[in-house]
Amino acid sequence: MLKGQAVTALGAMSGTSLDGVDAAVLVSDGHRILDFGESGYRAYTGEERGVLRAALGHWPGEPGVEAAARVTEAAHLELLRRFGGVDLVGFHGQTLAHEPRGRGTHQAGDGAALARALGLPVVWDFRSADVRLGGEGAPLAPFFHFACAKWMGAKAPLCFLNLGGVGNLTWVDPTADLPEAEGALLAFDTGPANAPLNDLMTERRGEEFDRDGALAGQGEVVDGALELFLDEGYFLKMPPKSLDRNDFSLMLDLVRELGDADAAATMTAMAAAAVMRGMEHCPSPPERLLVTGGGRHNPVMMAMLAAGLDCPVEPVEAAGLDGDMLEAQAFAHLAVRVAMGLPSSAPGTTGVRAAVGGGELSRP
């Protein structure tokens, strides 16, 4: 694949919230967003979600991992086969475990098998090379956020906040020439976002998530639990830094004695407070904060962020982007970069020792 060539790539993302698979087409030359294409979504069934949940925290060869990989691959194949006219696929897989300072990082799903089934080249295993070079392996969307800022024509620093299972923040200086340039990007996981709240809703209500923040909106934030949460050492750690989905499982313990509504309100406030703490690390104040991921649909979460931050807080749709598909588009863009031999992470985004192009390219 020639550098600078326009490539039609199909990116797929299955996040730690375990809701389903997003897929989106993006035309990219590895640097610029040239066009946005069609997108699609395939929800996991309750049974599939149970298989994935049972494998969380497990490593290759451990119980449940093979079944989780089969679910991941089958769901992706079903969705990706609906698309035509693409040159390349970016397959993130399903993160089951993430210990960058320990056993590494583990995404279920075999990109080589997908390449054979689809008859297309597939870029996958995006995180391992970064971890091997001393990086956190996450977050990986910042290089795409940089391209988005350029596409928007931004002139001043801005932030992208993804509120998925885990929250992650990207501060972008759009005046930089390249995403790997020193000072162009700062990115890190802010803390838990939707995952613990979703777990609470499943445990107490048998529901997947707090739709429209309806339950949290009926409750009150319990300050004592919030303060205990903010005492966690992670918030004092300088970025880059990253989290596993279950690193803050203590959140459920902190609200164990609370009623459902107060527990939901307090956990929502915890996610928002983690972002506020994270914003303190920005090299300079951002002009705006653009929110992507499922959390932007939660009006209680968005109101808490707007009340606690000094810049406008808006869903990414305010900038003409699709917040439901931004991460899938990111892995389409990263797939093009990896195929062209361009870096996909840098010291400012993951703490990796030098800019590196993560990902393995499998041909059919």
- What are the contacts of 204-208 at 24+ separation with CB within 8 A? 204/260, 204/263, 205/260, 208/19
Residue extents of the structural domains in the chain: 7-139+325-362, 154-319
Reduced to 3 DSSP states, what percent helix, strand and coil does the chain have, rounded to the nearest 5?
40, 20, 40
CA distance 53 to 68: 9
SS3 203: helix
SS3 257: coil
Fold agreement between 7-139+325-362 and 154-319: yes
Is the model's pTM score more than 0.85? yes
Chain CA centroid to CA 144, Å: 12
pLDDT band at 1 (very low <50, low <70, confident <90, very high): low
CATH 3.30.420.40 fits 154-319, yes or no: yes
pLDDT at 210: 95
pLDDT digits over 93-144, tens only?
999 998 888 899 999 999 999 999 999 999 999 999 999 999 999 999 999 9
Q: Check: CB of residue 333 under 8 Å from CB of residue 8.
A: no
pLDDT digits over 72-96, tens only?
999 999 999 999 999 999 999 999 9
**With left for phi above 0 and alpha for psi between -120 and 50, is residue 212 left, alpha or beta?**
left
Helix ranges, the chain (H)? 46-55, 65-80, 111-118, 128-132, 142-152, 194-205, 223-230, 250-254, 260-279, 299-308, 326-339, 347-350
Q: Which residues pair with 172 in a beta bridge?
A: 158, 185
Q: Which DSSP symbol is given to 125?
A: -
pLDDT band at 354 (very low <50, low <70, confident <90, very high): very high
Whole-angstrom distance between the N-terminal and C-terminal Cα of the chain? 15
Distances (CA, A) of 57 to 107, 127, 130, 200: 11, 16, 20, 18
CA distance 254 to 252: 5
Mean predicted confidence (pLDDT) in 48-74:
96
Q: Which DSSP symbol is given to 345?
A: B
CATH class of 7-139+325-362: alpha beta
> Would the pLDDT of 245 be above 80?
no
SS3 186: strand
The region of weakest confidence among 12-16, 42-46, 59-63, 76-80 is: 12-16
Q: Check: CB of residue 358 under 8 Å from CB of residue 107.
A: no
